[in-house]
Structure 1
Amino acid sequence: MEMKFLFAATISTLVLISVYCRPRSINTINKSQSNSPAIDAEKLLPPDHVDAVKFEKDGHINKDFHKEVFLGNHEEIDDEPIQIAEAKLVDIFHRIDKDSDGYLNEGELDSWILDKINEHMNEAMEENTAIFKHLDPDGDGYVEWKEYYKHFLLAKGHGLNETEKYLEDYDTDILQDDERDKLVWYKFKWTDADIKPIDNRLDVEEFFSFRHPEHSVQLIENMVLSIINSLDVDKDGKLTLKEFSKPDIMEEDPTTEKERDEEYKVREKEFVSAIDKNNDGVATKEEMMEYMNPRNPQQSLQEAKNLMSLMDDNKDGKLSVEEIKKHKDIFISSKIVNVKKVLHDEF
């Protein structure tokens, strides 16, 4: 299960899975890892936020989606003073303007956004390969759950000797409650990705699905079914506009009423403009899968249309530099110097 608000389990289930997560013997972990340094925790763990994907893993709309598919690595702009950031935005405009006519048409936007989405996906794959090699020092092409478990403990700051002793005999439980809960969560995700065959170990492709399930058709389907099951009040296997735009579970979020109302409006717009393609008032599993799949070629075209509708003030079907600059708030914070956002908060 992918989204935090979708995860519900009884205490007894958590206990059982927590025990299942524990390896029984350190001997099954390759001895060449004994001197392996701890990898950065943020890189080891599945990210909560994934660039260029419309949904966060906590169930909220990705508010940075416009930035990520228009600017690429938008952190470079977020860190700049507003004047420099605006100049970079104009430079990007001219790079998108392939025919150099001084305007951006829908086709140019579509092509550019598709390239940016692919860049994000390629970056995720490259990072995944590097992390996988770190976890697979013997180069056998697999990472066992027990190997991942060990690196998780090291990444959380537990010492090597302490970790190996714990994995040997479990005399002392060194896990904090939040660490144990996270391991339970990651074990669910690990099991979802372990599909060919089911052997409690992942090859590099499965490991990529574990960290980025949005790139796996099967895991996208699993996630969509989980979303529908969680939000489908009348249990008819589909989502109405109300069920999708105002999920009851969001009322528990620590946000203000104004922020919740804004979230509801964004979700409602997404449902009407991007999910319910046949305008029948309900979202089916197939429609949700098309919406969630970043590889869907309709994603870039839909975003091109969205950006055009947001910024094309004179409705001439194209964007000028002036219109881009006028609506720079879509891409650039109004602060003089922006604080770089930590984007690993998932989908």
Structure 2
Amino acid sequence: MDNKFLLTLVILTYSATALAFTVATDVDNKGRVLNKNLSHEAHFDQGEHNEDYDHEAFLGDEAKEFDHLSPEESKNRLGKIVDKIDRDNDGFVTEAELKSWIQYTQKKYILEDVERQWSQHNAKDKIMWADYRKTVYGFLDDMDPNELEKDDEGYSYRDMQRRDRRRWSVADGDGDDALTKEEFVSFLHPEDVPHMHDIVILETMEDIDKDKDGKISQEEYIGDMYRGTSEEDEPDWVKSEREQFNVYRDQNKDGYLDQNEVKNWIIPPDFDHAIAEAKHLIYESDTDEDAKLTKEEILDKYDLFVGSQATDFGEALTRHDEF
């Protein structure tokens, strides 16, 4: 279960509003989510490997497109992708080539996400906080204060606005209360920007530290991922997480995670998510154990890379992005 969090950066889902026109992310994700660098999915779900993580890591925002393809069409599309990944055309996909491809898909997703939200604001050179706030949270001005207390997941819209305001200020490098497109990237995707990591840590602690004592107990740590009521009935993966907390997370053995220990947990030093995923895909697919993949090995494991179980195949997709 440890890999679940080694492959994780925890951030607060940025904003949700009742407006029909909104630049916020998924309105259902108002609270804290485990938002990975490589995928919105958890790599391990209650101790079980989740192939949706691999699909999004490998395909980026095109992962869902494969859900509408037959196995035959999925393999055909995958074969074309493999040809792109094999940059030296030697018939093998190496770890370095696979890492490069994964980094490309993730960078492409981030840039497209930023471009989409930037255009929704009709932004040119900068977005002013006042304009952003009016678009995303302007509905608060017309609502009854009693309606703003708490939403279903325990986060008030006012609190989300406060947190967005704080994150905006950190992303605003020149202090003019407006974000350039580059600064907007930092605001939307702080997990990818080193100078934003402190705000990621702070938001994580605020979400998990339920009693607001400035540290995370083992029960708060477990409660963030498991809602069971009896420790005796906990599944093995939860018991494993308790052990991880005691042995690895709580480095000073005081029974709590402080800010530095949370940082080491969610942003482990010298850990490369793309390399880890590349190693994982090769390990799962390399039948002759030569530390590289042929097209045949990848196609034999096509469900790991792109997986299509859909019966409504839809039309073949025609995107031909350059890599």
Shorter-chain TM band: 0.5 to 0.7
Q: Of 104, 127, 130, which residue of structure 1 is paired with 2:93?
A: 104
**What does 1:232-271 align with in structure 2 at a 5 Å threshold?**
247-252=222-227
**What does 1:78-97 align with in structure 2 at a 5 Å threshold?**
78-97=67-86
In the TM superposition, what is the alpha-carbon distance from 1:303 to its structure 2 partner?
1.7
Distance between the aligned counterparts of 1:39 and 1:171, measured in 2? 16
**Contact kept? 2:41, 2:53, Cα under 8 Å:** no
TM-score by length of 1: 0.57
In the TM superposition, what is the alpha-carbon distance from 1:109 to its structure 2 partner?
1.0
Q: Of 148, 156, 174, which residue of structure 2 is paired with 1:181?
A: 156
Pair 1:87–1:309, CA change in 2 (3 A): same
Q: Which amino acid aligns with 1:220?
A: H
Distance between the aligned counterparts of 1:125 and 1:86, measured in 2? 31
**Contact kept? 2:286, 2:297, Cα under 8 Å:** yes
**What does 1:290-329 align with in structure 2 at a 5 Å threshold?**
290-291=267-268, 298-329=272-303
Q: Which amino acid aligns with 1:181?
A: S
Distance between the aligned counterparts of 1:64 and 1:290, measured in 2? 22
Distance between the aligned counterparts of 1:171 and 1:94, measured in 2? 55
Pair 1:263–1:74, CA change in 2 (3 A): farther
Q: Which amino acid aligns with 1:308?
A: I
Match of 1:68 in 2: 56
Distance between the aligned counterparts of 2:205 and 2:137, measured in 1? 34
Distance between the aligned counterparts of 1:316 and 1:309, measured in 2? 10
Distance between the aligned counterparts of 1:252 and 1:175, measured in 2? 27
Q: Which runs of 5+ in 2 are unaligned?
A: 1-9, 14-18, 229-233, 250-256, 315-323
**CA deviation vs aligned residue, 1:236-271 (integer Å, no higher than 9, x gap):** 9899xxx69x72332228xxxxxx969769989x99
Q: Which amino acid aligns with 2:105?
A: K
**Contact kept? 2:43, 2:51, Cα under 8 Å:** no
Structure with more relative contact order (C-alpha pairs < 8 Å, separation 6 or more): 1
Q: Which runs of 5+ in 1 are unaligned?
A: 5-37, 155-162, 254-259, 277-281, 340-347
Cα RMSD over matched residues?
5.0
TM-score by length of 2: 0.60
**CA deviation vs aligned residue, 1:65-91 (integer Å, no higher than 9, x gap):** 322232232222222233212211122
Match of 1:129 in 2: 118
In the TM superposition, what is the alpha-carbon distance from 1:45 to its structure 2 partner?
0.9
Match of 1:45 in 2: 24
**Contact kept? 1:214, 1:220, Cα under 8 Å:** yes
Which protein shows a greater Rg? 1
Pair 1:101–1:57, CA change in 2 (3 A): closer
Distance between the aligned counterparts of 2:273 and 2:201, measured in 1? 17
Match of 1:190 in 2: 165
Asked if residue 337 in structure 1 is aligned to residue 282 in structure 2, the reply is no
Q: Which amino acid aligns with 1:323?
A: E
Match of 2:106 in 1: 117
Q: Which amino acid aligns with 1:151?
A: T
